[in-house]
Every structure is written in C-alpha cells, then in structure tokens.
Amino acid sequence: MSFAGKTAIVTGGASGIGLETVQLFAEQGASVALIDSNEEAINEAVEATVAKTGNKNIIAVQTDVANSMQVAVMAEQVHAAFGRIDCLVNSAAIRASGNAMTLEEHIWDQVINVNLKGMFLTAKYCLPKMIEGGGGAIVHISSVQAFASQKNVVAYTTSKGGINALTRAMAIDHAEAGVRVNAVCPGTIYTPALVKSASRFDGDETLKAWGEDHPIGRLGESREIAEFAVFLCSEKASFATGGVHTVDGGLLAKLPCELPEK
C-alpha cells in the first residue's frame, strides 16, 4: 500500500489508534498531518513518528475538531504545506459516563461535538481540496457501540451511531466526485484511554476480562485498526465505499447467552 506522493490527515493523531495510523501512513511514504488538541502531545508524536519511520514529511496542527474556524484553518495549513489532501482518517473522540437522566447537558454537547460534529467539520473543509486533487478516501473511526451499548454511555453510543449514518450519507453524496467514505467499528482496543478506564476497577484483571469477552480471546491492538483504516484509504479498496466495517475480534457475532456444554 504505497502512499508516495499522497497526503493524509489523521485527527486524534497523538495517541492510540490515531498515532498508529499516522505512523503507518508515514511508513508507506505519505506526507501526514497529525491533528490533535493537545499541542505538547502532537509535537512529541511527530518526533516519535519521524524517528520510527524516517519520514520527515510529518507536521502537527493543533486543532479542536469541534471548532469550525480552527478546522478551516487546519485544512488550509495542510494544503499549503503539502499541496494536496488525499486521505482523511477521523479518529478524534472523547467519552463520558452518564445516562439520559444523569448526564449534564454541556457534557452531552462536548461528546457529540467532538465525536460527530468534528467528523462533519473535517469533511466540510477537506472535501473541496480532496475533490480538487481528483478524489480521495475518508475513514471514520466509529465503534461497536454504534450497534450495541454498554450502560451509562448514552452520549458516546449516540455519537457512534451518528457516525455510521454520516458515513453512508457522505458516501452517496461524494461518490461521483471520486471520494470514497467508510467507517471502521473497533471492538475493545488496548489504548492509553482503555488502560485509564480499567484503572478505575481492577486494572490488569479488568483488561484481561474485557479481552476474554471477545471470541478471539484478547483485546485488539491499535495497529490492527490502523492497518484496516489505511487499507480502506488505499487503491486496494477502490470499490469499497459506504461500508461500516466491524473489526472487533468477533464481539458482535457472539450471543451473551451460551448453551451449556454437554
């Protein structure tokens, strides 16, 4: 999957799935714009990516993806730096606990604005430049929680369901312009955010139990999701658009009620 001469933008690129996606694009020869709201983290991530891959065509653009003006400026900066935009992987996301009664309204707004509106805004400002260059590919990182929810994550689950619908709508709207749009729905992935979440319980034991919930018997790795996202951006996936792809170790295929063994 060579991306030589191509430019990729990755939001949420300072850690987890986003950072692995940045580094995989860099390994494949792309010029990469690493987008995140944490300025210190993105600068460190750029340094780490250059050191790991040897690719020096990596820039960091501090951006709040929920802020229209900042996203517009980001798209202009990336285009000015590299002359084109070919791929966009939207990985930026936040999560908050609460149900429809307990979740505060401003927290609901934050989650929806980052997770869902942020993907709309990056598309809004990157699509014209992508189309100007002859087309491209967009991948939204969604979640299995677009299909089946845990308790007390009403905003997160809603945002992920919206991402899947956004993916289908964009795929239809922009197919004629040569832009493919897909979503990836990961299962439980070993990331810094997941480790932090597990630390509220039994730490390593909780992570182990979460991994065993998957038929494949373990947690997923950020690199495994990055590989799939970058594949969807490549010419090897040239007929794939409008798809919502689960990469979940079989999690959604498994019914929670099992028959007793004989």
Q: Which domains does the chain have, with CATH numbers?
A: 7-187+221-247 (3.40.50.720)
**Residue 260 pLDDT > 80, yes or no?**
no
Which candidate, 136, 144, 29, 22, places its Cα nearest to that of 87?
Answer: 136
β-partners of residue 54 are none
pTM of the model: 0.94
Q: What is the pLDDT of residues 69-94, one digit of tens each?
A: 999 999 999 999 999 999 999 999 99
First CA to last CA across the chain, in angstroms?
47
**Residue 259 pLDDT > 80, yes or no?**
no
**Residue 246 pLDDT > 80, yes or no?**
yes
Residue 253, token pair as written in the block: 């295929």
pLDDT for the residue numbered 155: 98
pLDDT for the residue numbered 210: 82
**Residue 207 pLDDT > 90, yes or no?**
no
Residue 176, token pair as written in the block: 């004629």
Which residue in 82, 120, 156, 210 is the catalytic one? 156
- Residue 132: Cβ within 10 Å count: 12
Over residues 110-130, mean pLDDT: 98
Residue 249, token pair as written in the block: 């170790």
Asked if residues 237 and 230 have their Cβ atoms less than 8 Å apart, the reply is no
Considering the chain, what is the average pLDDT of its residues? 95
**Residue 262 pLDDT > 70, yes or no?**
no
pLDDT for the residue numbered 181: 98
Q: What is the pLDDT confidence band of residue 253, given thresholds at 50, 70 and 90?
A: very high
Q: Is 125 a catalytic residue?
A: no
Over residues 218-247, mean pLDDT: 97
Asked if residues 243 and 153 have their Cβ atoms less than 8 Å apart, the reply is no
CA distance 17 to 194: 12
For the chain, percent of residues with pLDDT exceeding 70: 99
Which candidate, 86, 27, 67, places its Cα nearest to that of 232?
Answer: 86
Over residues 170-177, mean pLDDT: 98
More confident residue, 142 or 195: 142
pLDDT for the residue numbered 66: 98
Over residues 36-59, mean pLDDT: 96
Q: What is the pLDDT of residues 2-45, one digit of tens each?
A: 899 999 999 999 999 999 999 999 999 999 999 999 999 999 99
Q: How many residues does the chain have?
A: 262
**Residue 192 pLDDT > 90, yes or no?**
no
More confident residue, 235 or 260: 235
Asked if residues 225 and 183 have their Cβ atoms less than 8 Å apart, the reply is no
For the chain, percent of residues with pLDDT exceeding 90: 85
